Amino acid sequence: MYRKLGLLTICLFSFQMIIAQSACSKYYPLEEGASFQYANYNSKGKLEGKVDYTVTEVSNSGDITSATMNMKYQDHKGKEIMASDYGFSCEGEVVRIDFQSLMNQQMMQQFAAVEVEVTGTDIELPNDLSVGQELADASVNVAADMGGMTMNINVETINRKVEKMEKVSTPAGDFDCVVIYSENKTKMSMMGNKIFPSRVWLAEGIGMVKQESFNQKGKLMTSTMLTQLSK
């Protein structure tokens, strides 16, 4: 059960920077059929799994663009561990992710009889990004009823800022990126607070091309790399 909760947390915060959107933001393409594949590595660079994202539906209502993205996660042996559909919206010059939309029926099936409730504040990414710019914080809380007790996982994404511009080479190509630094402040039931720094490399018209997460001592824990894309 704890392993499943861990997978949920990973999916929540990987999705923050991987989602696609419409012309209201220049950093992510939004076209039905667009697909992206990412490889996840451990601290030693060993492949741990792959995640495939596909934009399956896009609709517009006034200034709001809504879309559905399908996610499939498989382990290093190619076994599918989780599949889900995510809903999100884009309005004006900012992408906003509704964390409530991440908890759909398909994902709930992964938890069988466990009741899970997700609340939080949206994470935002504006069009105009410049080095030194500070971005709004965000948070999410996962409460899981484990029969007689509730397990709470609270993660605050804080100290978000545009750190630098950098060129990145991946199996999918070379990209000019903006690097966003943030810290995930995590608190779980019966455990103290832990802060995990993270960096995300974003390319215009692509979205996330690379991500690195570190422990409290600054040592690399996990990394993610864009390996395939199709638009």
Query: Within 10 A of 89 (CB to CB), how many other CB atoms are there?
Result: 19
Cα separation, 82 vs 38, in Å, equals 15
Cα separation, 60 vs 32, in Å, equals 13
Q: What percent of the chain has pLDDT over 90?
A: 33
As beta bridge partners, residue 90 has 65, 95
Q: For residues 88 and 64, which has the higher predicted lDDT (pLDDT)?
A: 64
Q: Are the beta carbons of 129 and 136 closer than 8 angstroms?
A: no
What CATH number should be reported for the domain whose range is 2-230? 2.40.360.20
Confidence of residue 3 (pLDDT cuts 50, 70, 90): very low
Q: Are the beta carbons of 9 and 96 closer than 8 angstroms?
A: no
Q: Are the beta carbons of 139 and 154 closer than 8 angstroms?
A: yes
pLDDT, average across residues 8-20: 48
Cα separation, 128 vs 120, in Å, equals 25
pLDDT at 98: 60
pLDDT exceeds 90 at position 167 = yes
pLDDT at 106: 41
The b-or-e profile of 11-31 (16+ CB within 10 A means b, else e) is: bbbbbbbbbbbbebbebbbbe
Highest mean pLDDT among 32-36, 105-109, 122-126, 148-152: 32-36
pLDDT exceeds 90 at position 99 = no
Question: Could you report the per-residue pLDDT of 186-227, keeping only the tens digit for each?
Answer: 887 767 788 999 999 999 888 889 999 999 889 999 999 999
Cα separation, 188 vs 77, in Å, equals 30
Of 68, 178, 66, 176, nearest to 127 by C-alpha is: 178
Q: Are the beta carbons of 215 and 195 closer than 8 angstroms?
A: no
Q: Are the beta carbons of 152 and 143 closer than 8 angstroms?
A: yes
Question: Could you report the per-residue pLDDT of 29-86, keeping only the tens digit for each?
Answer: 677 888 999 999 999 999 999 999 888 888 888 888 877 888 888 988 999 888 877 7
Range scoring the smallest mean pLDDT among 15-19, 76-80, 176-180, 190-194: 15-19
| Global confidence as pTM | 0.80
pLDDT at 96: 74
pLDDT at 62: 82
| Long-range Cβ contacts of 55-62 (<8 Å, 24+ apart) | 55/20, 55/30, 55/31, 56/32, 56/85, 57/32, 58/22, 58/30, 58/31, 58/32, 60/22
Range scoring the smallest mean pLDDT among 13-27, 90-104, 160-174: 13-27
Q: Which tokens is 177 given?
A: 């990126």
What are the Cα distances from residue 123, in Å, to 21, 182, 200? Answer: 14, 12, 14
